Structure 1
Amino acid sequence: MLNKFLIVSIFAFLFCFSATAQEKDKKTKKLPKEVIIDSIIEIKKPINPLSPAKAAFYSAVLPGLGQAYNKKYWKIPLVYGAIGTGVYFYITNNKEYNRYRDAYKRRLAGFTDDEFYFSNGEQLTTPRVTTENLERAQEFYRKNKEISLLVTLGIYALNIIDANVDAHLMQYNVDENLSLAPHYRFNEFDASSNLGLTLNFKF
């Protein structure tokens, strides 16, 4: 009887000790007060629908200003170089056209003192350029002058279009979650190949 009582007492003592130890373990374990989750938040620039119109307007007012607005400064020398070349050829052809036109008018008026009647300061009996050739030269330089003007106006228009398109492309949505890629697949059953485009959108 005494042995049974002793065994029961030992078991009861061990059970109480184990329960007390578990309570202490629970108290010693502390949970963190805050849970911090690392995350990257990407803030996208808002789209300005008036930006392309502004860039085009600036380039129309002053060539190259739209490129500066788009921060494409390397394009400004190209714009001025192209427009300057067109203006140079227009001025050169206009100057030559006026030379031959003035000489032609004096010939029609009966004068023989235009620049083509002289060589090294001495007047010639027959002119270096005939009246018919003066007429042809006028036509040639007039056409070149008109072409130079059209090319210059075309470059001016391209400068406006370039600024507008650049501003559009700067706001184009290039998202890694949206992709369009070509794909190629070989069909093993009939030995044919399939080529196409795959559109992927990740949520």
Structure 2
Amino acid sequence: MVSAQVQDSIPDKGADSIRTDLKRRGIVIQDGQLEKKEINPLAPAKAAFLSAILPGMGQVYNKRYWKVPLVWGAMGAAIYGYSINNTQYNRVRDAFKKRQAGLPEEFSDGIVPDLSTDALQDSQERFQRDRDLMLLLTIGAYALNIIDANVDAHLKQYNVDDRLGIDFKPFIDYNEMTAQPYYGLAFQVKF
């Protein structure tokens, strides 16, 4: 813990900017003392664990509430797509099997298919392929949710200071001997 007396002579105009700068560096002022905020090294693991149990909970743990509807929307859309394609796959597969067995063919809802045997087989394969793709998208959205929670928790622990930066500045100068301009680009890295 870092301690130092905070002077009362800080002008009101600059006090807020100083407090903001200190807070950004992980230092808080309590009871006139400067205290360094401790970093929890297990926070990324906890965020990932919470997201693995219930998608979106890691984002809530990281206080990134706006990401929760995105996570739920991506997972919900992928699960819905899987469900629709699985239903259609089973419907067409049953009609195809009945046709192959020589039974009166009809879909599960009583509609007689007006398709050739090849068209039924192609539809069955297409719905199966789409169903499997939706399953992969669901797994991908689930994994991305966990990775996002973990990475976001890691990044919250880094010090982001206003003094860090990269600056590009174009410039024009004149050659005194020839009186011709030359152009350039200044590249400045601040630490």
Q: Is the TM value for this pair above 0.5? A: yes
2:79 is matched with which residue: 63, 87, 95? 87
Query: Residues 129 and 178 from structure 1, CA distance in 2 versus in 1: closer, same or farther, beyond 3 angstroms?
Result: closer
Q: Which moved more, 1:62-71 or 1:145-154?
A: 145-154
Query: Residues 48 and 198 from structure 1, CA distance in 2 versus in 1: closer, same or farther, beyond 3 angstroms?
Result: farther
Aligned to 2:181: 191
Which has the larger Rg? 1
Give the C-alpha shift of residue 71 in structure 1.
0.7
Aligned to 1:29: none
Rounded Cα–Cα distance in structure 2 between residues aligned with 1:102 and 1:143: 17
Mapped pair 1:101 → 2:101: no
Mapped pair 1:128 → 2:111: no
Quote the RMSD (CA, aligned, Å).
Answer: 2.4
Rounded Cα–Cα distance in structure 1 between residues aligned with 2:101 and 2:87: 21
Unmatched runs of 5 consecutive residues or more in structure 1:
1-35
Mapped pair 1:200 → 2:171: no
Unmatched runs of 5 consecutive residues or more in structure 2:
1-6, 11-17, 28-35
Query: Residues 182 and 97 from structure 1, CA distance in 2 versus in 1: closer, same or farther, beyond 3 angstroms?
Result: same
Percent sequence identity is 49
Rounded Cα–Cα distance in structure 2 between residues aligned with 1:109 and 1:98: 16
Listed as ranges, the matches of 1:57-68 within 5 Å are 57-68=49-60
Deviations 1:101-142 (A, max 9, x none): 1111111111124239x65xxxx7xx5122111101101101
Instruction: Output the TM-score relative to the length of structure 2.
Output: 0.72
Aligned to 2:149: 163
3-state SS, counterpart of residue 65 of structure 2: coil
Rounded Cα–Cα distance in structure 1 between residues aligned with 2:173 and 2:50: 55
Q: Which moved more, 1:179-188 or 1:149-158?
A: 179-188
1:50 is matched with which residue: 42, 45, 59? 42
Contact 2:94 2:107 in 1 (8 A): no
Instruction: Output the TM-score relative to the length of structure 1.
Output: 0.68
3-state SS, counterpart of residue 101 of structure 1: helix
Give the C-alpha shift of residue 196 in structure 1.
4.2
3-state SS, counterpart of residue 184 of structure 1: strand
3-state SS, counterpart of residue 133 of structure 1: helix
Aligned to 1:71: 63
> Normalized per residue, which structure has more helix?
1
